[in-house]
Amino acid sequence: MMTPHDLENLDMSDAFAVSDGLDGFPETPTRTVVDDVRDHLGRYLSPASPADLDVLALWAAHTHLARESYTSPRILVTSPMPGSGKTTVLEHLERLVPYAVTMASVSSSALIPRLIAARDAGTTALLIDEAEKALSPNRPGIEDVLGVLNSGYKVGGSRPVLVPSKEDGWVAQSLPTFAPVAMAGNAPDLPEDTMQRTITVTMFPAAEGQVEESDWELIEPEAVGLGERLAEWADTIRDSVRANRPPVPTGCTGRIKERWLPLKRVAVHAGGRWPEAVDQMIRNNLEDIASDREAGLSTMPIHVHLVRDLHELFSAAGADFLTTDHIIRELIHRHPERWGAESPFGRPLTAQRYGRMLMKEYSIRSTKNTEDRRGYYRAPFVPVWRHIGLDDARPTVTNDPLPVTVETV
């Protein structure tokens, strides 16, 4: 039996352990339903990285708090090979998210707003399977479908849709498009503006005995119960999620921040390891973007290549004005793979095509200098260069081995 002295000296810290959390956020238990969801998913799914399980668990919780988060990142579950469990991911999410609507095709762009509007209250979560077919760029009207999905990325997104009217037959009505969306497919060909709103989860086929079978006759009650617990937990933190914006790592801005901040909001309320786990995923994402930018120049739009190559020319020349003839000659000489006869265009760059690209993409026109020579001044390119992270190309000392013929003012 404990004595009063024993009780006074009893360490109860472990019995009521809480995470330190972040300044301004409520302290949270070291384990929440988010941890239970993550453990549940880990029993049945085989992603490429454990961090993918974190993403899925946080996103499932986020769907119950989507209206408090302003944006809702799209999830793309993909795999380099079939039979990796992509559809199984959607089956588990279906039990965890609110008002799930699962579809393997999208018959029209009006279907999604109507499905969302059919719910008088709450949030509808859209789960799109076989996305490589359902969202194929070859499908008629796919641009409108993707436009709806993109507009529904932010709270308040809407789209005018024709609805039946007793008086006038059909009338245009603005219907909501905001909804969390998860897609699954074998490397679907999605446009860049959709991918900028998307977090990718990669699946691999599981080795024998690596995961348990998703036998829904047996595990349905457990999965549905976790979804109900997520909903109950979300109700307890809803006001705090709405009121607080947790910090994110340096460099996480714009669309990157819009993707990750909703998950960070969930993470700080889940406590424990979760805030740092999201920060690490953000840092990894930023590193991947930087690596792609550095090593993936071949995927860069040709007009961006052009202004980068022009920066090289102006820097090497140390001049404020270059004639069009000089620019064309040097571009072909320095980068024949882009501007010469072996370029994807199949013929050398011409002054006409060069001028059209600059005018169409940047509204930069050629002009004449005081010697009546037609060409381009450096100054109009400076804002463009700064936007893509380059300097002003002012005269510098260079060891450029290529001869440069310069016409200056």
pLDDT recorded at residue 167: 72
Instruction: Give the separation between CA 48 and CA 171, rounded to whole angstroms.
Output: 48
Q: How many residues does the chain have?
A: 409
Task: Provide the 10 A C-beta neighbour count for residue 147.
Answer: 15
pLDDT recorded at residue 22: 56
> Which comes out higher in pLDDT, residue 83 or 238?
238
Which CATH number applies to 298-387: 1.25.40, 1.10.10, 1.10.150, 1.10.1400? 1.10.10
Spell 324-351 as b/e; 16+ CB within 10 A means b: eebbbebbbebbeebbbeebeeeebbee
> Which comes out higher in pLDDT, residue 172 or 299?
172
Tokens for 140, please give them.
């008629």
CB 59 within 8 A of CB 267: no
CB 98 within 8 A of CB 233: no
95 Cβ neighbours under 8 A, 6+ residues apart: 220, 223, 224, 226, 227
Please list the residues that pair with 160 across neighbouring strands: 174
pLDDT recorded at residue 294: 66
Q: Which of the four pLDDT bands, split at 50, 70 and 90, describes residue 28?
A: low
Tokens for 248, please give them.
């994110």
Q: What is the mean pLDDT of residues 195-204?
A: 93
**What dotted CATH number matches 33-295?**
3.40.50.300
Q: Could you state, in order of their start, the residue ranges of all structural domains in the chain? A: 33-295, 298-387
> Which comes out higher in pLDDT, residue 333 or 172?
333
CA dihedral 288, 194, 309, 315 (to 10 degrees): -70
Q: What is the mean pLDDT of residues 30-42?
A: 93
3-state secondary structure of 136: coil
* Least confident piece of the model among 47-61, 153-167, 168-182, 294-308: 294-308
Helix 216-243 and helix 254-270: axis angle, to 10°?
Answer: 110
What is the secondary structure of 197-238 as a DSSP string? TEEEEEB-PPPTTTS----HHHHHHHHHHHHHHHHHHHHHHH
Q: Which of the four pLDDT bands, split at 50, 70 and 90, describes residue 404?
A: very low
Instruction: Give the separation between CA 282 and CA 203, rounded to whole angstroms.
Output: 20
CB 112 within 8 A of CB 119: no
User: Same topology for domains 33-295 and 298-387, yes or no?
Assistant: no
Instruction: Give the separation between CA 85 and CA 102, rounded to whole angstroms.
Output: 16
Q: What angle do CA 135, 259, 51 make, to 5 degrees?
A: 90
Of 6, 65, 5, 8, the C-alpha closest to 34 is 65
CB 335 within 8 A of CB 357: no
What is the secondary structure of 36-86 as a DSSP string? HHHHHHHHH--BSSHHHHHHHHHHHHHHTTGGGSSB--EEEEE-SSSSSSH
The answer, yes or no, to whether residue 408 has pLDDT greater than 90, is no
- pLDDT tens digits, 231-274: 999 999 999 999 999 999 999 999 999 999 999 999 999 999 99
- How far CA 104 is from CA of 113, 129, 159, 184, in Å, comes to 17, 5, 22, 9
What values do phi and psi take at 401, rounded to 5? -80, -15
- pLDDT tens digits, 104-148: 888 778 888 888 887 766 789 999 999 999 998 888 888 888 888
> Which comes out higher in pLDDT, residue 297 or 100?
100
What values do phi and psi take at 170, rounded to 5? -130, 135
pTM of the model: 0.69
Provide the CA 402 distance to its chain's centre, in angstroms. 41
- pLDDT tens digits, 326-349: 999 999 999 998 899 888 777 899
Q: What letter represents residue 31's amino acid?
A: R
Q: What letter represents residue 90's amino acid?
A: L
Please list the residues that pair with 184 across neighbouring strands: 77
As a whole number, the mean pLDDT across the chain is: 84
